[in-house]
Structure 1
Amino acid sequence: MKIENSFDVPLPVEQTWDLLLDIQRVAPCLPGAELLETIDGDAYRGKVSVKLGPMAVTFQGIARFESKDPVARRANVKASGNETKGRGGAQAKVDFALTPAPGSGTRVKIDTDLNLNGAVAQYGRASGMISDIAQQLVDKFAEALKLQIQADAARAVPAAAPAPTPSASPAATVAAAAALPPPRQPAPAKPISATELLIGALKRRFRRWIASLRGRAPEDRR
């Protein structure tokens, strides 16, 4: 199935390109995702956890950059993964394209060709629902990425701390170092709530349905 998504990043295209290629930085922004291993400069092993009520489902797999075009700001990623308990798997080819957005930001367009197999393939029958869920994940990723950018900017200009002088005591030196902000530690990945995503997808479809009714003539609504 084909899925199209997009999101905006509050950085110029050049900086956004560098940021999105830094997988170790951006992986924690994807809900439920955890980077397990950097295989080489273009391949990564990771997992995604989904929580559906009391049941947790985990997918593990590998994503690899098939191509990168730093001039056109385009990249292609091929990913595949399997559910750890053998309930099925997924393969995806993903194309990313970056273009300038109004102001000084960047619009990131994502085209995904997704194939499901095994027990999880039953969800493929509702491709429209999957598209809505995918957009929610992209929105959550974009929101987390924006917060990370804001936090990085704040750490780049920390409050001035008194610099220790050559004659400063060890205690004063320790106090000055303590005044600096601690390095940010990535939070452990939390499983995605499939129930929350499903409810969100239903809301999106309902809003589209209402919008379509408003665009019709009264006799067309019968």
Structure 2
Amino acid sequence: MKLEDSVILPCGRETAWAALNDPEILRQCIPGCEELTQDAPDHMTAKVTLKVGPVKARFAGDVTLSEINAPESYVLSGEGKGGVAGFAKGSAHVRLEEAGPEETVLHYSASADVGGKLAQIGSRLLDATAQKLARQFFDKFRDAVADDEATDA
């Protein structure tokens, strides 16, 4: 499964970068996220509950940041296990591009693999769910950085 898109954020690149590295902001924006803990500057652990079609599962996973080029880009790699529901693993290349003093374009390109019951659901439903979750995340993230900019002003 592959996802690729760009999102315009109503903030400067430094603000967007700080938010992308803030576990509390990410926890609030990730759909179904119950817990997100930063163990090291380049590592986080998470607990997320998601429903994909008829399968609802609680995933425990790890997220690692690599190829960090602050405040421009990094690669996120993650793997989560959801018990009998299966597993998910993937990575995303995230790049921030200045589009003006108070506007940043976030580009992302992600790929993921799933196994277990999740893999039996079918690629159409998985793709639709992944796109919906990405939209939810970026809508909340856009609101979070807009609120952060308003607070700083």
* 1:61 positional shift: 0.5
* 1:155 positional shift: 4.7
Matched, 1:112 2:110: yes
Number of aligned pairs? 153
Aligned to 2:143: 147
TM-score, normalising length from structure 2? 0.82
- More helix by proportion, 1 or 2? 1
More RCO (CA 8 Å, sep 6+) = 2
Mark the runs of 5 or more structure 1 residues left unpaired by the alignment: 158-222
Q: Which amino acid aligns with 1:109?
A: H
1:86–1:53 distance in 2 versus 1, CA, 3 Å: closer
How does 1:9-158 map onto structure 2 within 5 Å?
9-51=9-51, 56-70=56-70, 73-83=72-82, 85-101=83-99, 104-126=102-124, 129-153=125-149, 155=151
Residue 35 of structure 2 aligns to a residue whose secondary structure is: strand
CA RMSD of aligned residues (A): 2.6
Identity %: 25
CA distances 1:30-84 after superposition (whole Å, capped 9, x unpaired): 111133432211111112212468974211100010221126x11001100110x
Aligned to 1:202: none
Q: Tell me if the contact between 1:9 and 1:106 (Cα under 8 Å) persists in the aligned partners.
A: yes
* 1:156 positional shift: 5.0
Moved over 4 A (4+): 52-55, 153-157
Q: Tell me if the contact between 1:7 and 1:138 (Cα under 8 Å) persists in the aligned partners.
A: no
Which shows bigger deviation, 43-52 or 73-82?
43-52
* Rg larger in structure: 1
TM-score, normalising length from structure 1? 0.59
Mark the runs of 5 or more structure 2 residues left unpaired by the alignment: none
